[in-house]
Amino acid sequence: MTTYVLVPGFWLGAWAWDGVAAELRAAGHEVRALTPLGVAERATTAEVSAADQVADVVATIRREAEPVVLVGHSGAGPVVVAAAEEAREQVAGLVLVDTGPMPEGMAHIDFHPPQMQTWIRERIAAHDGWYPMPTPEELRTSGASLDGLDTETLETLVRRAAPEPAGVVLGAVRRGVNDPSLPKILVASSFPGQQVRELAAAGVPAFAQLADPEWDIRDLPTGHWPMLSEPHELAVVLADVAPGRPLSRLREAPGSGV
């Protein structure tokens, strides 16, 4: 049995992992799906920072009796990377889902081109320090892929999305010391793994660390929210993280042939 701590990206709560969590639990694993500090029911102030979210994840994994597999999607990527470095003794594996291990000093907003950065800052200013989820049309314009989401799932995503605190969007996390012995996987969903490798080789800051030999890049072709569009396939990848011992095979998904 392995314990997984699942952290969703911007605007999402623990609910986003329901499909993946069900698959992992059916295989006998423990799952702790988190709603990030400052989001949804945990939103008490817009002053929450990326560092606050790191501390919250660290506190969560340190409550576990055994080391966990720590998973971060999209905007949670830098948070879980920093948390894994701070609490290395409690982390048996690290998985990033459609995101990259941003370097020290790089904030989420820095990932976007200048015009998009201006749009995000204006949106935050118009919403009293919160960054609400863009509309589907705005997401597509910004380059976020909605592939794989049927109408009902997309409607659920939009309806249940909650604003993100500005501090998480605009502030950078504090990195620790990277441990190359920690098993690490990048799940490439809305962009192919080959493109990730090329960006890493070129030294693009958000991806440069992925050139390190301990990173295993896995392709899961779908949109930016694979936990919603391909929960079974994503769970299979997560169950393949072997923190020193073999993991149980997931149950067969209807019609999957797995």
Residue range 20-44: average pLDDT?
95
Give DSSP secondary structure letters for 209-223: GGGSTTEEEEE--S-
Residue range 56-67: average pLDDT?
97
Pick the closest to residue 56 from 76, 73, 31, 29 (CA basis): 76
Residue range 203-222: average pLDDT?
94
Residue range 140-160: average pLDDT?
95
Residue 247 clears pLDDT 70, i.e. is over it: no
Residue 253 clears pLDDT 60, i.e. is over it: no
Residue 33 clears pLDDT 90, i.e. is over it: yes
Sign of the CA dihedral 235, 12, 171, 206? positive
Residues present in the chain in total: 258
Residue range 34-49: average pLDDT?
94
pTM for this predicted structure: 0.92
For residue 3, what are the CA distances in angstroms to 6, 60, 184, 218? 10, 12, 16, 21
Residue range 51-77: average pLDDT?
97
What's the chain's average pLDDT?
Answer: 92
For residue 212, what are the CA distances in angstroms to 171, 201, 207, 241? 25, 10, 10, 18
User: In this predicted structure, what is the pLDDT of residue 61?
Assistant: 97
Residue 250 clears pLDDT 70, i.e. is over it: no
Task: Note whether 240 and 247 are within 8 A (CB).
Answer: yes
Name which residue leads in pLDDT, 250 or 37.
Answer: 37
User: In this predicted structure, what is the pLDDT of residue 240?
Assistant: 84
Token pair 């499909």 is found at 19
Name which residue leads in pLDDT, 247 or 192.
Answer: 192
Secondary structure class of 161 (helix, strand, coil): coil
Residue 246 clears pLDDT 80, i.e. is over it: no
Determine the Cα–Cα distance for residues 258 and 256; give it in Å rounded to an integer.
5
Residue 217 clears pLDDT 50, i.e. is over it: yes
Distance of CA 55 to the CA centre of its chain: 16
- Strand order from edge to edge, sheet including 215-219: 30-33, 3-7, 68-73, 91-97, 184-188, 215-219
Residue 258 clears pLDDT 80, i.e. is over it: no
